[in-house]
Structure 1
Amino acid sequence: MKKHYKAKNSLKSPRFSGIKTFMRMENIENPEVLDDVDFAVVGLPYDTCASYRVGTRLGPSAIRELSCLAAKPYSGPLQVGIFDECSGIDYGDLGSVPGYIEESFDLITEGMLPFFEKGVVPVAMGGDHSVTLPELRACAKVNGPVALIHFDAHYDTIKEYFGKPYNHGTPFYHAAKEGLVDTSKSIQVGIREGLYGPEDLTNSTNLGYKVLRADECHKMGMEAVIEAIKERVGTAKAFLTFDIDFLDPACAPGTGTPVPGGFTTAQALELIRGLKDLNIIGYDIVEVSPPYDPTNITAIAAAGLMQEFISQVAYRKKNNIKF
């Protein structure tokens, strides 16, 4: 008989007590328990690939600490109790070798593989955005190329940085070139970065990605953006990656590369909820950098978005949505 893992009841145990895990779930770092769970939260505290302001290595611990405020086990909008439908754990953090990119990527890929092999939905916390590349390597080993749903202020599709291949601005160039994603079913949403030159406008589209810039999204409205994402992805297996700088700096100041003209937390939640019926087999949220946000609103936003990710897993199970 499978064991059902769930969070502590905060009406019986004060939220300020105990070891800080995401949503106060059990911390179990053992692949053997994955046969008993539907989803697992996992930290990727790595920021060697940051180009300017570091600090995202501290993101997972901050998100965990604030999740007791921002993430509760029942979703009103989706009308689903996460632990009524699902078994889930906090798997802790995967390893890295600070300062060594390829070695760290190998550790992340190796650590992520068991989730995909067992059909467990990983909900990962970075870390800078480079960590999504080794996540996708693990995902593709099991599932083949997947659709990528990418929320970000930046394209992250430049070929190299200072003549080197890996940086938090390059992961989705390499993901496309390595065949980890099906770019014909992939979409980047919210892009509004300043560019080094006009050629940067076509880096993503030349790789096959569809791009919805922030100015287009604001004109379209969130419902139309949701429909565009759903039309692009269809029934394909998908990986959703959310860079916290998708949010406007007023809503998420704690990030390394903030860009004005972004989205509110309410708009982001609306977009995520609109994707509840898609075949999303993995999620991550990246680029939360606590040193730049003494108010903790960035970590609170990240925890709330992760609660939406997990609620979607429960929603699809409750409604027996098959693909």
Structure 2
Amino acid sequence: MFSTVRKLCFGRSVPEFFSSTPRQALTLARFRRGPRVSLHRECSGRRYNVPPSAEFVARVSGIPTMAKLPFRESADGLDAAFVGVPIDTGTSNRPGARFGPRQIRVESAMLRAYNSGTRAAPYESLMVADIGDVNVNVYDLKDTCRRIREAYRKILATGCIPLTMGGDHTIAYPILQAVAEKYGPVGLVHVDAHADTSDVVLGEKIGHGTPFRRCVEEGLLDCKRVVQIGLRGSGYSADSYEWSRAQGFRVVQVEECWFKSLAPLMSEVRAQMGSGPVYLSFDIDALDPGFAPGTGTPEIAGLTPIQGVEIIRGCRGLNLVGCDLVEVSPPYDTTGNTALTGANLLFEMLCVLPKMKYY
């Protein structure tokens, strides 16, 4: 292998070729030391977790953690952590989202260390790891919510920012309970085909169609700093979003997004959110099912993946205290593309967290 790498260096020695920039030096370190590499944080003595490069370690090898990052038992010492919440007990249509975190991790092997579009360097900025899944109760949704809430209290107590892989959208409710306990009422950037503000569905108040109604009732959201983007589909009334608007939410229906860049919208959203804490919740069904068919409640005429990326990149500069990507249902997309899209959107979320380094 060394001779192959030497050839790629156009006749120069490996040390000469890889010594000109920090990125190149890091690549050489990966080559020399193997799949797990640490990079010093300047002036602090801390080290970062750097996933192995597919230049030297095959993507199909190893245990499929998120982005092939190290697994950690807890969030202690981490700036950000990927965590799975594998439930679909709250779904109203297609099941399967309980397998979302697992498939997202598998597809995340395609992710590399740098964001070529924004030049973000997450693994030179933050200590990140995969801390596994919440131990949910697949037979009892209310007990699962309790378990999620308690798990996130522990994560947030360490100062770590959770990047959550769902699971159905019910999980946003107990997560935001824990988030609001730490930060008070937060702003919300909610990207979804559905408002998820129903009161009671089939006699139940907890499910994937009700989380943000519960959050408002409990004072978890700063309602003047809530935006819902991509809402669409047929409704149970002529104005399905009347309740959201009555709370002070900004509602951006999908028709306002068709055929345009969402960068101008996100400029307005940043002004709306200000400097206070913000939570980002992204339902994969916000994207058109032509792009992301593997989800439980698909609606036609949705956002494009480009617009999804624009929304997340537009959150750069916000005081993000947590993010989630929910409702990936692998059984409904045998190609894996929905989970692959979800993995990339989670990486984009990582790349807009506070204290991110950009080249």
Q: Same fold (TM over 0.5)?
A: yes
The 5-angstrom pairing of residues 166-185 of structure 1 reads 166-185=206-225
**Over aligned residues, Cα RMSD in angstroms?**
1.5
Q: Relative contact order: is structure 1 or structure 2 higher (C-alpha 8 Å, sep ≥ 6)?
A: 1
Match of 2:71 among 20, 27, 41: 27
The aligned counterpart of 2:18 is none
Please state how far the C-alpha of 1:228 moved relative to its aligned partner.
2.6
The aligned counterpart of 1:7 is 51
- Which amino acid counterpart does residue 158 of structure 1 have in structure 2? S
The 5-angstrom pairing of residues 222-301 of structure 1 reads 222-301=262-341
The aligned counterpart of 1:303 is 343
The aligned counterpart of 2:140 is 100
Of 135-144 and 4-13, more deviation after overlay is shown by 4-13
Please state how far the C-alpha of 1:4 moved relative to its aligned partner.
2.8
Please state how far the C-alpha of 1:3 moved relative to its aligned partner.
4.5
Once the two structures are superposed, residues 4-50 of structure 1 have per-residue CA deviations (whole angstroms, 9 ceiling, x without a partner) of 3231232221111011000100111224xx2x221100000011000
Please state how far the C-alpha of 1:118 moved relative to its aligned partner.
1.9
Answer whether contact 1:72 1:307 (CA < 8 A) is retained: no
C-alpha distance 201-82 of structure 1, shift in aligned 2 (>3 A): closer
Q: SS at 2:230's partner residue? A: strand
Please state how far the C-alpha of 1:300 moved relative to its aligned partner.
0.8
Report the Cα distance in structure 2 between the residues aligned to 1:256 and 1:80, rounded to whole angstroms: 32
Of 80-89 and 176-185, more deviation after overlay is shown by 80-89
The 5-angstrom pairing of residues 67-216 of structure 1 reads 67-69=108-110, 71-198=111-238, 200-216=240-256
- Which amino acid counterpart does residue 9 of structure 1 have in structure 2? S
1:54 aligned to 2:95? Answer: yes
Report the Cα distance in structure 2 between the residues aligned to 1:199 and 1:253, rounded to whole angstroms: 26
Q: Which has the higher helix share?
A: 1
Please state how far the C-alpha of 1:198 moved relative to its aligned partner.
2.5
Please state how far the C-alpha of 1:219 moved relative to its aligned partner.
6.2
Q: SS at 2:347's partner residue? A: helix
Please state how far the C-alpha of 1:275 moved relative to its aligned partner.
1.5
Of 123-132 and 265-274, more deviation after overlay is shown by 265-274
Report the Cα distance in structure 2 between the residues aligned to 1:249 and 1:263, rounded to whole angstroms: 9
Percent sequence identity over aligned pairs = 35
Once the two structures are superposed, residues 177-201 of structure 1 have per-residue CA deviations (whole angstroms, 9 ceiling, x without a partner) of 1111111111101100211113533
The aligned counterpart of 2:14 is none
Q: SS at 2:165's partner residue? A: strand
The normalised TM-score by structure 2 is 0.84
Answer whether contact 1:217 1:225 (CA < 8 A) is retained: no
Report the Cα distance in structure 2 between the residues aligned to 1:14 and 1:229, rounded to whole angstroms: 40
Answer whether contact 2:153 2:178 (CA < 8 A) is retained: yes
1:318 aligned to 2:357? Answer: yes
The aligned counterpart of 2:78 is 37
- Which amino acid counterpart does residue 355 of structure 2 have in structure 1? R
